[in-house]
Homo-oligomer: A and B are copies of this chain.
Amino acid sequence: MPGSLIYTGERQVDTLRMEMIRFDAENLEEELLTTQTLETVRKEGMVTWLNVVGLHETDKMRAIGDEFEIHNLALEDILNVNQRPTFDEYDNQFFVATKMFRAVNEVIISEQFSMIVGKGFIVTFQEKEGDIFDGVRSRLRNTKGRIRTRNSDYLAFALLDVIVDHYMAIIEEYGDEINDQEVQLLENTKKEMLKELNLSKKEVNYLRKFARPLRDTIINFNKSDNPLIDKKTRPFLKDLNDHMTHVTETIEVYRETINDNLNTYHTHMTNKLNDVLKLLTIFSVVFIPLTFVAGIYGMNFENMPELHYQYGYYIVWAVMITLALGMIIYFKRKRWL
């Protein structure tokens, strides 16, 4: 129902935490905010980054929404963990939502990420403890470089850039797997590989499901003429766009490779089966005339002169062996064996 704030995910943290970093070119302040201290969050001339971890406490969410004058629809989207990646513009603010991925001990962790960007502040929302932004934080803390002298639009770019980089990292990991599978298939196709191949397909399709709308989101970010976006940030956005295009193209390439692998798998399995069946058929065929010959001399006719030859039995053996060898040679020549 429009207008109601409901968190659609599972509760991932105990209490909602509000981490603030406030900076300008000279100073940097960090603080864990409470609902009480929330109203002190902004300071004239500085840029505030408020990172909210955990989305399940609707009251606090509403308090944050009120403090930053976040549009109700944006608040609802922040709480909806099934929200499609999107870029929306409101008066004096813009909103970005996306799925973000990170690999922890070979396990891919995904969570919903949203951010509200306004003049002089940026509020980010994430579901779980731990994230991929430590690099951005240390650049803020340690350097007095570009990121400290720019406004919230550049920080928004920096965060999205990290997210896109992690998409790239994960798809490249998958890519290594997929290329390994390709090599293995050419060397020795095993029946067990089908599961692996199907798993890779599933994984890549899952990533693609989010990568494609994220790409649209970034394209919209790029095209936006929002006054919040500084002219100096534009080349960075174009660069981000290029990276994301690279991600989606790489995903498509791997999808094709997986399909080729699956085809190779099926072709190999069919060929293997066919080879077995051909071999077995030829084996049967070699015995068929031999058995027939044995049948002939198993007949009980009174007048069968061969039966009385001294060496009849040995001659029959000779005939049979000749027949069998002849057929095998014939099949070899025909390249059926």
A198 neighbours in B (Cβ, 8 Å): 264
- Complex Cα–Cα for A99 and B194 (A): 35
Q: Among the listed B77, B86, B295, which residue makes an inter-chain contact with A295, where contact means beta carbons less than 8 Å apart?
A: B295
- Complex Cα–Cα for A13 and B208 (A): 38
- Complex Cα–Cα for A242 and B299 (A): 82
Q: Among the listed B158, B276, B291, B316, which residue makes an inter-chain contact with A292, where contact means beta carbons less than 8 Å apart?
A: B291
Tell yes or no: A333 within 8 A of B by CB.
no
Stretch at the interface among A28-36, A42-50, A108-116, A302-310: A302-310
The size of the chain A interface, using a CB distance under 8 A, is 81
Given contacts A209-B253, A266-B267, A299-B316, contact A292 B290 (CB under 8 A): yes
Residue of A285, A295, A304 most packed against chain B (CB within 10 A): A295
Given contacts A3-B146, A303-B310, contact A294 B288 (CB under 8 A): no
Tell yes or no: A238 within 8 A of B by CB.
yes
B316 touches A312 (CB 8 A): no
Q: Nearest-CB distance from A175 to chain B (Å)? A: 12
Give residues 286-323 of A contacting B (CB, 8 Å). Answer: 287-292, 294-304, 306-313, 316
A287 touches B289 (CB 8 A): yes
Q: Nearest-CB distance from A74 to chain B (Å)? A: 8
Tell yes or no: A227 within 8 A of B by CB.
no
Given contacts A73-B236, A242-B86, A302-B312, contact A288 B283 (CB under 8 A): yes
Please name the residue on chain B nearest to A283 by beta carbon. B285
Given contacts A242-B86, A285-B283, A308-B302, contact A2 B158 (CB under 8 A): yes
- Complex Cα–Cα for A235 and B71 (A): 9
A313 touches B285 (CB 8 A): no
- Complex Cα–Cα for A235 and B86 (A): 13
Tell yes or no: A51 within 8 A of B by CB.
no
Tell yes or no: A11 within 8 A of B by CB.
no
A292 touches B294 (CB 8 A): yes
Per-residue B-contact encoding for A234-276, CB less than 8 Å = 1, 0 else: 0110110010011001000100100010001011010101101
Tell yes or no: A161 within 8 A of B by CB.
yes
A301 touches B313 (CB 8 A): yes
Could you list 9 A-B pairs, sorted by A, with CB under 8 Å? A2-B161, A73-B239, A84-B242, A213-B249, A266-B267, A269-B271, A276-B336, A291-B291, A300-B307
Across chains A and B, which 4 residue pairs bring their CB atoms closest together, nearest first? Answer: A294-B295, A297-B299, A301-B313, A298-B298
